């Protein structure tokens, strides 16, 4: 029997706005909606994790451009990332679902192109997310190895250097812990997410002040703000080219904020708080990341030595900086090792939140039948957690890391998908918004008004630009060892996705499928 209209209206009014919108889009509320706006922000902020990205790729910034690339390149990459984020936030407000990008593409591309658009976007998104988890947890395994090396005397003092097999074992153990944590109820995970955000914020504040304060030798302000390092040892002399390559550290770091979109089905008032999570995570990361860069770079006095593989940290620049700062002041580097421990905890939280985001994407994508064995991955347990999706995400990330055993070059190709592949997924959804859905897009509570199209086009052009920049050779002459395999990896992924569509998926995949009668 149909409810009276006023009764139906009262029921809709009593619903959380995110739940009501999800129902309008045709999906049941299967996940527990228990995240606040801060919790939603915390997941994206801890995945961006400036302590993770900057620490991991500081060597790249130092090598290609040095302080100028680090300090100014950060704002360039951060500013354009904010533009991408604003455009994504506008779409997220209209479509607050765990599927995020691939669902957006389907709705924005229109009925004719929806299946192909969602297939392309979804696979770039989920493989990109798995690659992010791979790179984050492998980076933590490498940092743990460096901490052990320094704790046992350093490279020049007989310290223990772990083999590649030990590193991959550490990586597997870290992923296992992350899968266990992500199998817990969302209320517990929310606590860890908030703790992760607080750890990153406090960690940056402590390290940016402590490192230059303890250092007995500091760089001058002129060096930090004006020195451009052209001594890269890779046969590249063009300053424009060098600066472009130096942007990779910044762009790699400010990635993963689509987590706020993937967590919307578990976020209260997600049509408003999902966009807030995306924008605030980028904005606060830009501010705190720059502060961290500034503090660390004031402790840089000898770039060639920091990048030299024969130093105590084996060429791991930030580890060597921390170690030397305390050793020069107190006669030993114990304080520096403790500081590296602070960074390691931040990276651990980053990987944990990355698996959370991966699993929600896998849950939503399989809910619509896009993944092999989809019926298995979109199941939720009694605590409303997609636990199968959690474990398959961890497993895929471990498999991607196994390439490091064969060749570090092959592994770097996998990692390149983390930046380029993920941003391609971002750009595809935005591209459909500014083209096919230019006139039909219905904005949600958060929108850019008349500037939506302009912001969207700038975002798409920026992604196209960095896709070219990060595919350029990073050393000359080009050999098998120095070739940048990014275009090979991303191109290979593109061929696989398109081929699977042409030879199979186009016959059965119809795009997002509603699971309630709207």
Tell whether 159 is covered by a domain: yes
d(CA 325, CA 338): 12
Q: How many domains does the chain have?
A: 1
Q: From 392, 219, 396, 191, select the one nearest 296 (Cα to Cα).
A: 219
Tell whether 412 is covered by a domain: yes
The pLDDT value recorded for residue 13 is: 45
d(CA 116, CA 137): 32
Tell whether 152 is covered by a domain: yes
What digits encode the pLDDT tens for the residues 33-71? 878 888 888 888 888 889 998 998 899 899 999 999 999
Q: pTM to 2 decimals?
A: 0.89
Overall residue count recorded for the chain in this entry: 518
Reading the chain (518 residues) residue by residue, the pLDDT tens digits are 444 444 444 444 457 887 888 888 877 777 778 788 888 888 888 888 899 989 988 998 999 999 999 999 999 999 999 999 999 999 999 988 876 788 899 999 988 999 999 999 999 989 988 988 999 999 999 999 999 999 999 898 888 999 999 999 999 999 999 999 999 988 888 898 889 889 999 999 999 999 999 999 999 999 999 999 998 888 888 999 999 989 988 988 898 888 888 788 888 888 899 999 999 999 999 999 999 999 999 999 999 999 999 999 999 999 999 999 999 999 999 999 999 999 999 999 999 989 988 888 888 888 888 888 878 887 887 777 889 999 999 999 999 899 888 777 667 766 677 778 888 989 999 999 999 999 999 999 999 999 999 999 999 999 999 888 888 888 888 777 777 888 888 888 899 999 999 998 899 888 887 766 54
234: containing domain? 32-442+457-507
Tell whether 13 is covered by a domain: no
d(CA 342, CA 203): 7
Residue 88 in tokens: 């994504």
Coil/strand/helix, residue 35: strand
**For the chain, how many helices (H) and strands (E)?**
22, 0
**Dihedrals φ, ψ of 378, to 5°?**
-100, 10
Tell whether 512 is covered by a domain: no
CA angle centred on 369, ends 365 and 374, rounded to 5°: 85
Measured in whole angstroms, the distance separating CA 37 from the mean position of its chain's CA atoms is 19
Tell whether 11 is covered by a domain: no
CATH number (domain holding residue 93): 1.20.1740.10
The pLDDT value recorded for residue 517 is: 56
Tell whether 1 is covered by a domain: no
Tell whether 12 is covered by a domain: no
What digits encode the pLDDT tens for the residues 123-166? 998 998 898 899 999 999 999 999 999 999 989 888 899 999 99
**Dihedrals φ, ψ of 195, to 5°?**
-65, -40
């Amino acid at each position: 029997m149909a409810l009276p209209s006023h009764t139906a209206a009262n029921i809709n009014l009593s619903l959380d706005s995110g739940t009501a919108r999800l129902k309008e889009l045709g999906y049941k509320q299967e996940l527990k909606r228990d995240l606040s706006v801060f919790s939603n922000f915390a997941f994206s902020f801890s995945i961006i994790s400036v302590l993770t990205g900057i620490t991991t790729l500081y060597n790249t910034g130092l090598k290609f451009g040095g302080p100028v690339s680090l300090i100014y390149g950060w704002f360039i990459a951060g500013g354009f990332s904010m533009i991408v984020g604003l455009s994504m936030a506008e779409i997220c407000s209209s479509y607050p679902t765990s599927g995020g990008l691939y669902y957006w593409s389907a709705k924005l591309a229109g009925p004719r192109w929806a299946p192909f658009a969602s297939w392309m976007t979804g696979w770039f998104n989920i493989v990109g997310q798995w690659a992010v988890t791979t790179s984050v947890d492998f980076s933590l395994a490498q940092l743990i190895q460096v901490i052990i090396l320094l704790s046992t005397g350093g490279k020049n003092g007989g310290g223990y250097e772990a083999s590649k097999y030990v590193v991959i074992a550490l990586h597997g153990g870290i992923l296992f812990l992350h899968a266990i944590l992500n199998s817990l109820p969302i209320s517990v995970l929310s606590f860890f997410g908030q703790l992760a955000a607080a750890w990153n914020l406090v960690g940056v504040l402590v390290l940016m002040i402590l490192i230059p304060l303890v250092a007995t030798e500091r760089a001058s302000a002129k060096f930090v703000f004006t020195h451009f390092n052209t001594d890269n040892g890779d046969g590249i002399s063009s300053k424009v080219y060098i600066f472009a390559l130096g942007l990779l550290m910044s762009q790699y770091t400010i990635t993963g904020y689509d987590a706020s979109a993937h967590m919307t089905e578990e976020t209260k008032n997600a049509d408003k708080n999902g966009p807030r999570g995306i924008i605030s995570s980028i904005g606060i990361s830009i501010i705190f990341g720059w502060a961290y860069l500034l503090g660390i770079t004031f402790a840089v006095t000898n770039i060639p030595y920091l990048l030299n593989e024969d130093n105590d940290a084996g060429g791991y620049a930030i580890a060597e900086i921390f170690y030397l700062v305390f050793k020069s002041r107190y006669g030993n580097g114990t304080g520096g090792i403790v500081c590296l421990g602070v960074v390691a905890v931040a990276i651990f939280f980053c990987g944990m939140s990355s698996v959370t985001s991966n699993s929600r994407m896998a849950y939503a994508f399989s809910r619509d039948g896009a993944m092999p064995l989809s019926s298995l991955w979109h199941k939720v347990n009694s605590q409303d957690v997609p636990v199968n999706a959690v474990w398959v995400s961890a497993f895929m990330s471990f498999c991607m890391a196994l390439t490091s055993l064969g060749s570090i070059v092959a592994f770097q190709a996998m990692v390149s998908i983390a930046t380029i592949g993920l941003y391609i997924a971002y750009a595809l959804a935005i591209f459909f918004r500014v083209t096919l859905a230019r006139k039909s897009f219905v904005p949600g509570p958060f929108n850019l008004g008349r500037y939506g199209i302009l912001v969207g086009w700038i975002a798409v052009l920026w992604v196209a630009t960095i896709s070219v920049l990060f595919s350029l050779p990073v050393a000359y002459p080009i050999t098998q060892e120095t070739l940048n395999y990014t275009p090979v990896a991303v191109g290979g992924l593109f061929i696989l996705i398109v081929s699977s569509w042409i030879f199979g998926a186009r016959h059965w995949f119809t795009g997002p499928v509603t699971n309630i009668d709207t």
